[in-house]
Amino acid sequence: MSRTTLATVTRAEFAKFRTARSYVIGLIVLVVLFIGMGILISGLQNVRVSDHHGGFTASEFDSTAFALIGYFFAQFAGGVIGALFVTSEFATGSIRTTLAAVPRRGLFVIAKAIVVTVIVGIASEIAAFVSFFAGTAIQPRSAFDVVSNKVVDLPIASLSGQGVLRAVLMSGLYVTLLTLLGVGLGLIVRHTAGTISIFVGLIFIVPLISLALPTGWQQGLDKILPSNLGQSMIAISQPANSFSAGPAALLLGAYALGFLLLGYVLTNRRDV
């Protein structure tokens, strides 16, 4: 690499992603989870509404949420991709070669972020739209409602519905931002298992721990947790004690940017 410009470093990082089997497999898993779980949960609604003794009420039926539920599972695949994209170089020692070729470490961090944003962002958005269309296509159209005690038509979502297009776009954005967060964590921790453990703890374990806190503390913490920010971004109706979709997306983006900046500072200060 004769000139270490952002363009040349980014091309090199794209080549790494494209040629490494673990990254490609991780991306495939992300897409399969996103689409597959959306189809599975949507399809299971047919079984649910067919049980007349199950206490089904039409007001509980959220067509968009069922179709996009795969984002919850895809976020973990995204975190793993982000972590591996950084930590695998530290594990193999190839990071020495990379940083010798790219002495300006800021370019290295920015290039990593660009590659993840473009590849995972495109894949996540495609998966979100496929999941939405496939999920809503197989959802039940009517069901026996125990409240009205009669068969009622179910509200199947369409992109023209209020907030639906935003929810689909935000579900892909959420997965992308969490992947970037994984990149930042990888730069900070530099160890694959440790990075993934912290990522899972932040997304899954911390919300459980918050249940043991006093109510006031719990509500304050829950409002800013990444997983709850994702729910706010994707929900058609704003959940209680939460930000609206726009501020939630901005705050989650700030999380990702903050971890990336801290990762850059530590990468710049540490000897490899």
How far is Cα 131 from Cα 183, in angstroms, rounded to an integer?
Answer: 26
Which two tokens mark 253? 């983006």
- Taking the CA atoms of residue 61, residue 63, residue 64 and residue 67 in that order, the dihedral angle to the nearest 10 degrees is 120
Higher-confidence position of 158 and 151: 158
Residue 1 lies in a domain: no
Residue 37: per-residue pLDDT: 97
pLDDT band at 1 (very low <50, low <70, confident <90, very high): very low
The whole-number average pLDDT for the span 58-85 is 94
CA 167/CA 231 separation, integer angstroms: 10
* 21 within a domain of the structure (yes/no): yes
Q: At what angle do helices 164-189 and 226-234 cross, to 10 degrees?
A: 160
Which of 6-10, 133-137, 165-169, 268-272 has the lowest average pLDDT? 268-272
Given a cut of 80, whether residue 162 has pLDDT beyond it is yes
**How many independent structural domains does the chain possess?**
1
Whole-structure pTM value = 0.93
Tell me the angle at which helices 105-138 and 94-101 cross, rounded to the nearest 10 degrees. 110
Q: What is the mean pLDDT of residues 235-247?
A: 87
Query: Tens digit of pLDDT for each residue in 31-69?
Result: 999 999 999 999 999 988 877 666 678 778 899 999 999
Look up the domain containing 122 and give its range.
Answer: 6-269
Kindly state the percentage of the chain with pLDDT values over 90.
71
The reply to whether 131 falls in a domain is yes
Q: What is the mean pLDDT of residues 69-74?
A: 96
Cβ neighbours around 201 below 10 Å, total: 12
